[in-house]
Every structure is written in C-alpha cells, then in structure tokens.
C-alpha cells in the first residue's frame, strides 16, 4: 500500500510567519520576476565583458566585470527569499525567458556605446520590476523583502546613472 502522502501545498500552509498565504504567493511571484530580470542582466553584462571592442575596451571590460559580479552575487539572496516565503525559486533558462521583462543580449555583439545603452535600459527595467513589488511587500509588513528591494533599487539606479553618464558628451 502506498503511504499516504501530504499534498504539495501542505508545506506552504504550515508556514506561519505572520504573512498570509496570498501575500506570500504574490511576493514570491514578484521576486521570481526580479530574479529572472537580474539573471538576464547578469548574463548580458558578462557577455558584453567578453565581446566589447574599441578604444574604451579597457574601461568597459573592467567596469562590466564589476557589474556582472555584483549581479551574480545578487541572485542568491533573491532566490533564497522566495524559499523563505515557502515557494519554489525558478532556475532554468526557459523559466527566466518567460518571467523576465528584459530582452536577451543580441546574438551579434553591438558597438561599445550601444552595449552601454542596452545596460542602462536593463538596469532601469530591473528597477521598475523591483519597485512594482514594493507596495505588496510593504502592506504585508514583509520587512526582509522590502529591505532586499531597497538594496537592489539602490544598486540598479546608481549603476544606471554611471552607465548613462558614459553616453553624455
Ligand atoms: Fe574576464
């Protein structure tokens, strides 16, 4: 006889941290989008580190390395916050492609300043995804998620400014 197994939702409903099931689900969904955006921007930035050419090579190659390293380190706390809320963290290219608001890097490497422009758009896009989740976390008194979002917003807005500055004459 097969042993009686609990439903997959049982683990979720046993979580009692003072945030409703509905709010945990909505927050996990928003964090999954943030994870997909962050991962996509990480990969695009690493791609540009590899493929950048031109007179700004050294500056951009180094700058992109600092940026992709920061993004790589950021995906783990986002995924683990989803797990702390009782949900499954997405972690496949198929899921990320479905969830991300950012386009994949172009197959043919663009010129250096076009790379910078694409990264500005990327950081702005991730900032919008993080900001859209803020009211949900805030009304649920989900301070750890709100704190994580605040940290990510600070980085993306600052990085977008630094990249944007390279495009100005
Ligand atoms: Fe490298």
**DSSP character string of 107-156:** SSPPPHHHHHHHHHHHHHHHHHHHHHHHHHHHHTT-HHHHHHHHHHHHHH
3-state secondary structure of 106: coil
Distance (Å) from CA 50 to ligand 1 centroid: 7
pLDDT at 13: 56
Distance (Å) from CA 55 to ligand 1 centroid: 18
Sign, CA dihedral 142-124-115-64, equals negative
Distance (Å) from CA 65 to ligand 1 centroid: 7
Task: Spell out the domains of the chain, with CATH numbers in brackets.
Answer: 19-167 (1.20.1260.10)
Q: Tens of pLDDT along the chain (169 residues)? A: 444 444 444 454 589 999 999 999 999 999 999 999 999 999 999 999 999 999 999 999 999 999 999 999 999 999 999 999 999 999 999 999 999 999 999 999 999 999 999 999 999 999 999 999 999 999 999 999 999 999 999 999 999 999 999 999 7
Distance (Å) from CA 129 to ligand 1 centroid: 28
Q: What is the pTM (predicted TM-score) of this model? A: 0.91
For the chain, how are helix, strand and coil distributed in percent, rounded to 5? 75, 0, 25
Distance (Å) from CA 122 to ligand 1 centroid: 21
Q: 52, 61 in Cβ contact below 8 A?
A: yes
Distance (Å) from CA 72 to ligand 1 centroid: 14
Which residues neighbour 32 within 8 Å (Cβ) at sequence distance 6 or greater?
A: 82, 87, 89, 90, 95, 99
pLDDT at 145: 98
Distance (Å) from CA 79 to ligand 1 centroid: 25
């Amino acid at each position: 006889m097969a042993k009686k197994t609990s439903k997959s939702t049982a683990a979720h409903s046993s979580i009692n941290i003072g945030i409703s099931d509905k709010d945990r689900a909505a927050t996990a969904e928003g964090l999954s989008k943030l994870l997909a955006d962050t991962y996509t921007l990480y990969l695009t930035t690493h791609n540009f580190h590899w493929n950048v050419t031109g007179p700004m090579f050294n500056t951009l190659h180094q700058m992109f390395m600092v940026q992709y390293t920061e993004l790589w380190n950021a995906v783990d706390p986002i995924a683990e916050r989803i797990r702390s809320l009782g949900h499954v963290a997405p972690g496949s290219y198929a899921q990320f492609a479905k969830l991300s608001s950012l386009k994949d890097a172009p197959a043919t490497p663009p010129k250096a300043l076009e790379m910078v422009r694409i990264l500005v758009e990327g950081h702005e896009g991730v900032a919008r995804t993080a900001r859209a989740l803020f009211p949900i976390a805030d009304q649920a008194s989900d301070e750890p998620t709100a704190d994580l979002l605040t940290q990510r917003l600070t980085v993306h807005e600052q990085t977008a400014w630094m990249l944007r500055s390279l495009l100005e004459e």
